[in-house]
Amino acid sequence: MAPSNPYDIDAWTNPYTPRPPFRHLPAPVARFFGYRSPSSSPQQPHTLVVWACSFLGAFLGVSLLEGVYLNLPALSGHTVPTIIASFGASAILSYNTIETPLAQPRNLVFGHFLSALIGTCITKLFHLLPYAEFNKLRWLAGSLSVGVASVVMGMTKTVHPPAGATALLCATTVEITELGWWFLPLVLLGCMLMLTSALIINNVARRYPVYWWTPADLDKAKADRKAGDVETASQAKKEEEEKTKKQEDEKLRSLSQTDSDSATRSETSGRTPGENLLLSRKHQIMIEGDRIVVPDWMHTDEWELSILETLRQRVRNGPPDTATTRQEP
């Protein structure tokens, strides 16, 4: 069965995407891949600890990239840049706002790489023009690269804002333009170095990543549902009608035994239980441990889906152990 949203790539791939294998690793090792035991209680570190980790992560992460780039040999005669500027913005996401979907590994790696690929391809096409004409049209190549990269990241659910600068650099920075296809392995190398440092530094006191590929429960993913087990009110209505059909039939037979009961029921309810359910959920979002129900008219994007899925996971896991949970002073 085709997904309810045919443009959601996760709706097609989640049923075939395996769970990350980190749960099989020893706990101290799995911790640095972002895995936490379901029985463990999440703890919010002190604000000063968060700031310290953000500083150390950004400083050490960017320093690592610069150190590696500076020691790379010339690539086909082209000098390797000291740093790719867009990684400065990625450092803020990867070490500061580490719980946002934009900072997860899928977005960091694929967002940068796809944008670099698109920017390089479009710049190569414009480079077929005479050099003087190409210089005049660098602005067009750059803006077109950012526009196409934005759409591709949206289609693949790999939106990473700093990657827009990666696409732009291909056309507007002479040093990057001259690298040509060599820019792609440099970007991929930078992504892997930043991801590695983020895994080590962030997992000392916090948790990163929140997920590797998708926030949805891959064990329960089905092709006829959106990512994250989100249902529409119509789908919930149909399920509710099927579950309560027998109970409602028995109730109707009981109420129809007397004329007074039948008249009372006609006055108080002129709709079927399914219609009542649909009307009550027109302006309602329902989050349960095994599903999420949204109104038919609401179209949820990646950001909203991740928030809903996070709340669903918290509802399913139950309340934390208050005896071990630290509170913010």
For the stretch 265-281, pLDDT in tens is 444 455 555 555 555 55
Distance of alpha carbon 199 from alpha carbon 162, whole angstroms: 19
Q: Which helix (H) or strand (E) holds 231?
A: strand 230-232
Is residue 55 scored above 60 in pLDDT? yes
Q: Which of 121-125, 259-263, 305-309 has the highest mean predicted lDDT (pLDDT)?
A: 121-125
| Whole-Å CA distances, 243 to 4, 85, 135, 274, 281 | 22, 57, 67, 11, 17
Burial 177-196 (b: 16+ CB within 10 A, else e): bebbebbbebbeebbebbbe
User: For residue 256, what pLDDT is reported?
Assistant: 57
User: For residue 44, what pLDDT is reported?
Assistant: 83
In this prediction, what percent of the chain has a pLDDT beyond 90? 47
User: 293 - beta bridge partners?
Assistant: 231, 286
DSSP type of residue 65: H
Q: Dihedral of the CA atoms 167, 168, 169, 171 (nearest 10)?
A: 100
User: For residue 231, what pLDDT is reported?
Assistant: 61
For the stretch 106-163, pLDDT in tens is 999 999 999 999 999 999 999 999 989 999 999 999 999 999 999 999 999 999 999 9
Lowest-confidence pick of 47-51, 167-171, 209-213, 305-309: 305-309
Average pLDDT score over residue span 166-171: 95
Are 135 and 124 contacting, i.e. CB atoms less than 8 angstroms apart?
Answer: no
Strands 286-287, 292-294: pairing kind: antiparallel
Distance of alpha carbon 225 from alpha carbon 218, whole angstroms: 12
User: 231 - beta bridge partners?
Assistant: 293
- Domain spans in the chain, listed from the N-terminal domain onward: 10-205, 286-317
Are 131 and 109 contacting, i.e. CB atoms less than 8 angstroms apart?
Answer: no
Are 119 and 173 contacting, i.e. CB atoms less than 8 angstroms apart?
Answer: no
User: For residue 148, what pLDDT is reported?
Assistant: 97
Distance of alpha carbon 88 from alpha carbon 307, whole angstroms: 26
Distance of alpha carbon 23 from alpha carbon 30, whole angstroms: 7
Residue appearing with tokens 């791939």: 13
Between CA 266 and CA 223, with CA 243 as vertex, the angle to 5 degrees is: 130
Is residue 294 scored above 70 in pLDDT? yes
